[in-house]
Structure 1
Amino acid sequence: MSATLTVVGLGSGNPDRLTLGIIKKLKAASAVYVRTAEHPVMKALEELEIASQSFDYLYESLSSFPEVYEAITAKLIEKAAFLTAGSEIVYAVPGHPMVAESAVSLLRGRCPEAGIKLEILGGESFLDEAFVRLGFDPIEGFQLLDASGIRSSQLQPELHTLIGQVYDSFTASETKLCLMELYPPEYEVIVGHALGVEGEEKIDRVPLFELDRLTGYGNLSLVYVPANRAETARRRSFARLHEIVDILRSPEGCPWDREQTHESLRKNLIEETYEVLETIDEDDPDHMKEELGDLLLQIMLHAQMEEELGTFNVYDVIEGLNDKLIFRHPHVFGDTEAGNAEEALMNWEGMKAEEKRRKGLKPEAESALSGVPRDLPALMKAYKLQKKASKVGFDWDNVSDVLAKIREEADELQEAIENGASAEEQMLELGDLLFAATNAARFIDADPEEALTRTNRKFVSRFQYIEQRLRSQGTRVQDSSLEQMEALWEEAKLEERKL
């Protein structure tokens, strides 16, 4: 067994809070190392004639905190392994060793492997002073976050939130931007510097948007965000949406929502999808935001129905989607590469096939046309079927052949009509013509659904122009001749060209 490595906490900054046991450890140690000499207690250690070596030089020579903590861990293990059995070295850290000390977490995992006995002695953490100086009880609900890796997904506004490691104005700025995703810009936050350290403590209360305008950030700085239990804050959370849908479906909820089934809401899901598409065509972000919400509600309702049956809930849906996105993007989350969109799509298809194999399916035994949803709109379905057939070589050589096929199908439709073929036969010939036209869209890299949508929009615009012009002349389309309307139609086309 090598020397013992003991980690002690120097407290939040007030030398009077150092325990007698920690002082004895420091004095008896073969060597004392400190994470940083920039701590108020260091002056007291000098007065007690406790010599120490700091790792501040690592902060200056390495480019990231993880690298610093890795280097500190390696050096401490090296020092402990070098000393004789029975010796003890002490590593002293600010605050409490188990609060925001990444190197200590690394030591806990690696010391046993290296045959080094590790002991940890507590110390007053900055949390103790924060609870007292900022005046909140953590039992009400509390979370501690690291400013260097803070994400909006971590935030829970209904909890008291302390954010440590706010070293400088840049970190404060990153923290502010993250918080503003959930909190209003005017929300009051509190910045504490050197809490509990006589002569150095400073507490500022500022609106959130001014967080990075303050000065004085350093190793002993933190940000406190008081709990916000107002309904306005909860409205931005996914958990609140889940809760609301649950209430709507409950016995005390809405009678209409309670009566709905997957089948009764089927048409709503389709309608809401098309309404979202309309906002995309209109390039209307405000309307899109609203319609995306309506579509999300449909998803929530379907998931809620299954939750009531105990089969799955919406969080299972999210988990499955996250797993699928990670698995099907090995060029992002794995070691595969994709230099362009085509290579990325190939990776996606390859991983999709692998998913099927893991489920016991054999994708190579499936039809080349499998995977196209049964209930897709016909034009969209034709496009997808043709693309799948094309991948296995069943395709026209060039667009000229496709255009020739369109003319052939148009002739056959005309022949069916002129020969008085049955309505069923005429409809089938029309379907062949539309299918051939869809092939042309694919050859010119145009989505046929979008192409027809644009033509529909153009038709509506020109026809409404006719209606407006006739209305200005004191008449209506119902009272106008075809010749009048065709003249205005050509006029509408000319107006389009001017735009």
Structure 2
Amino acid sequence: MGKIYIIGLGPGSIDHLTLGAINRINSKCKNFIRTEKHPTIEYFINNNISYKSFDYMYDKEEDFEKLYKNIAEELIKEAEKNGNINYFVPGNPMVAEKTVEILIQKKVNIEIISGMSFIEPMLEAVRRDPINGLKILDGAIFNPLMVDINVDMIITQVYNKRIMSEIKIILSDIYGDNYNILVVQSAGIEGHEKVNNIPIYQLDRIEDIGYLTSLYVPRIEEKNRTIYDFNDLIGLIKVLRGEDGCPWDMEQTHKSIRRTVIEEAYEVVDAIDRDDIDNLVEELGDLLLQVIFHCEIGFDNGEFNLIEVTSGLANKLIYRHPHIFLQKEVENSKEVVYNWNKLKDAQRGYKTITEKMESLSALPALLKSYKIQDRAADIGFDWPNIKGPLDKIIEEYEEVIESINISLDYKDKVEEELGDLIFAVVNLARFLDVDPEVALNRTNNKFIHRFKFMEKESEKKGLKLEDMTLEEMDILWNLAKGQS
């Protein structure tokens, strides 16, 4: 196989062609060009130098990842057939060139002939210094995970309205519709360079879009800031727990704020149950704060850091989803759950069913009983049909009545039998695929709603509930039931 010379054509102007690039153009080797939609192609035409462009592949393939792989494979085949070949790319071969990245990964025989990238002319056009951070992104494969609001971003490959529209949606969701960005046309090409400062919502209204169009998204400045990302939250906690921070935040330990984790988790669930999306956003933030807070305490104590937490979680997700990351086939969601539990048990080293049950000790009693019964059912220790749990509830109810009739002073026995009854009700909930925690919480909210109705109705009568008889309150309760 011959060598593939990868040559940068510079940002656009023929004047930016390097001597190395001109020598390769005139080297008599077969020439391949990723796209001829670049001003320096004029040099080839004016000097009657033949070339083959890969523009035809852009018309056939909508998946850019596949497109770049296809171009790389075609270049390798040509090098095997023709010996040394030239492959010309816009700008610098090592900047925002996916095909070059693929060729390097394949470890074929290549040589890079550098060229000026489009970055320098872009920075000059927008008058920005990249010292505070700069991220270069490919607009053709742009997604929300690529966005970093704390550094400037250049988005290239934005050569049609479809790509521009997709980028607009992503940026609007993060920065807001009215955040101003710069649209740069033909950076570094004298007489053609244009810079437009526009709000994001106007992105897909631009008519003059081409292969030399790029976007410059300035980082969010500290002044009047209202948008923050995960790294910003970590920074805020570091300030609060720092030398000149908040005395309360500095004093906290894992144990001192452990109850707050439970409280915030329940408030998230409550927001979900009430279908209150605005409140859900707020409560998820409060829950996330607890995670970050514990991570910072761990870091300050020299116990662990945030990267250990995120890495542990990512590795767990990969390990427990072999059907996604390791191409292991599963038939349905039940098999996914079964595999998840098997992998979890293997990872934690459980050898018996009892060990699995004992590991649930930290859970609230209602959830714990549900999961204990689930563990038993995994090995077939379960009722064959719904009649079993229904009959068990009746049996346990009768034993509660019996324990009360024997003696109300015998509290331990009554407590034990009530526990058995609740356990039996949870078993029925599990059998019906109903979360008992959610079911009970719905009843709690329903009771409060009805009680609120009773209070309002009593006020209309000029009375207070505490001054009413039980019979009078029962009447109001039945009215409340009729309202919901």
Regarding TM over 0.5, the answer is: yes
**1:392 partner amino acid:** I
Instruction: Decide whether aligned partners of structure 1 residues 91 and 456 sit closer, same or farther in structure 2, where only a CA change above 3 A counts.
Output: closer
Corresponding residue for residue 395 of structure 2:
408
1:337 maps onto 2:329 in alignment: yes
Residue in structure 1 matching 2:173, options 177, 181, 199: 181
1:473 maps onto 2:472 in alignment: no
- Distance in 1 (alpha carbons) for counterparts of 2:207 and 2:440: 59
- Distance in 1 (alpha carbons) for counterparts of 2:356 and 2:2: 68
1:131 maps onto 2:94 in alignment: no
Q: Structure 2 length as normaliser, TM-score?
A: 0.92
**1:479 partner amino acid:** D
Residue in structure 1 matching 2:265, options 268, 273, 292: 273
Corresponding residue for residue 204 of structure 1:
196
Instruction: Decide whether aligned partners of structure 1 residues 218 and 493 sit closer, same or farther in structure 2, where only a CA change above 3 A counts.
Output: same
Corresponding residue for residue 368 of structure 2:
381
Contact preservation (8 Å) 2:72, 2:99: yes
Residue in structure 2 matching 1:328, options 320, 326, 349: 320
In the TM superposition, residue 165 of structure 1 has moved relative to its aligned partner by 0.9
**1:10 partner amino acid:** L
Contact preservation (8 Å) 1:410, 1:433: yes
- Distance in 2 (alpha carbons) for counterparts of 1:393 and 1:351: 19
- Distance in 1 (alpha carbons) for counterparts of 2:483 and 2:47: 90
Contact preservation (8 Å) 1:372, 1:381: no
Corresponding residue for residue 473 of structure 2:
485
In the TM superposition, residue 447 of structure 1 has moved relative to its aligned partner by 2.2
* Match runs of 1:390-469 below 5 Å: 390-420=377-407, 422-469=410-457
**1:107 partner amino acid:** L
* SS of structure 2 residue aligned to 1:294: helix
1:74 maps onto 2:73 in alignment: yes
* Match runs of 1:37-76 below 5 Å: 37-76=36-75
In the TM superposition, residue 70 of structure 1 has moved relative to its aligned partner by 2.9
* Match runs of 1:306-385 below 5 Å: 306-356=298-348, 361=349, 363-367=350-354, 369-370=356-357, 372-385=359-372
Unaligned stretches of 5+ in structure 1?
A: none
Corresponding residue for residue 90 of structure 2:
94
For residues 406-445 of structure 1, the C-alpha deviation after alignment (integer angstroms, 9 at most, x for no partner) is 2222222222222226221221122222222222222333
Instruction: Decide whether aligned partners of structure 1 residues 461 and 73 sit closer, same or farther in structure 2, where only a CA change above 3 A counts.
Output: closer
Contact preservation (8 Å) 1:29, 1:89: no
- Distance in 2 (alpha carbons) for counterparts of 1:320 and 1:173: 37
For residues 25-71 of structure 1, the C-alpha deviation after alignment (integer angstroms, 9 at most, x for no partner) is 32232322222222212222222232323222333334433333333
Unaligned stretches of 5+ in structure 2?
A: none
In the TM superposition, residue 4 of structure 1 has moved relative to its aligned partner by 4.2
**Count of residues in Structure 1 that have an aligned counterpart in Structure 2:** 483
Deviating more after overlay: 400-409 vs 220-229: 400-409
* SS of structure 1 residue aligned to 2:26: helix
Instruction: Decide whether aligned partners of structure 1 residues 63 and 283 sit closer, same or farther in structure 2, where only a CA change above 3 A counts.
Output: closer
Contact preservation (8 Å) 1:77, 1:111: no
Instruction: Decide whether aligned partners of structure 1 residues 464 and 334 sit closer, same or farther in structure 2, where only a CA change above 3 A counts.
Output: same
1:24 maps onto 2:11 in alignment: no
- Distance in 1 (alpha carbons) for counterparts of 2:81 and 2:23: 23
In the TM superposition, residue 144 of structure 1 has moved relative to its aligned partner by 0.9
Contact preservation (8 Å) 1:368, 1:389: no
Instruction: Decide whether aligned partners of structure 1 residues 309 and 31 sit closer, same or farther in structure 2, where only a CA change above 3 A counts.
Output: same
Instruction: Decide whether aligned partners of structure 1 residues 370 and 7 sit closer, same or farther in structure 2, where only a CA change above 3 A counts.
Output: same
**1:293 partner amino acid:** G
- Distance in 2 (alpha carbons) for counterparts of 1:475 and 1:267: 39
- Distance in 2 (alpha carbons) for counterparts of 1:78 and 1:398: 64
In the TM superposition, residue 203 of structure 1 has moved relative to its aligned partner by 2.6
Contact preservation (8 Å) 1:412, 1:429: yes
In the TM superposition, residue 327 of structure 1 has moved relative to its aligned partner by 1.8
- Distance in 1 (alpha carbons) for counterparts of 2:429 and 2:105: 60
* SS of structure 2 residue aligned to 1:28: coil
Instruction: Decide whether aligned partners of structure 1 residues 475 and 350 sit closer, same or farther in structure 2, where only a CA change above 3 A counts.
Output: same
Q: Structure 1 length as normaliser, TM-score?
A: 0.90
Instruction: Decide whether aligned partners of structure 1 residues 495 and 229 sit closer, same or farther in structure 2, where only a CA change above 3 A counts.
Output: closer
For residues 279-328 of structure 1, the C-alpha deviation after alignment (integer angstroms, 9 at most, x for no partner) is 22222112222222222222222221111122212232122112212221
Deviating more after overlay: 73-82 vs 346-355: 73-82
- Distance in 1 (alpha carbons) for counterparts of 2:427 and 2:31: 77
Q: What RMSD in Å do the two structures reach over aligned CA positions?
A: 2.3
**2:43 partner amino acid:** A
Contact preservation (8 Å) 1:166, 1:219: yes
Corresponding residue for residue 226 of structure 1:
218
Instruction: Decide whether aligned partners of structure 1 residues 206 and 429 sit closer, same or farther in structure 2, where only a CA change above 3 A counts.
Output: same
Corresponding residue for residue 33 of structure 2:
34
**1:58 partner amino acid:** M
In the TM superposition, residue 349 of structure 1 has moved relative to its aligned partner by 1.6
Corresponding residue for residue 153 of structure 2:
161
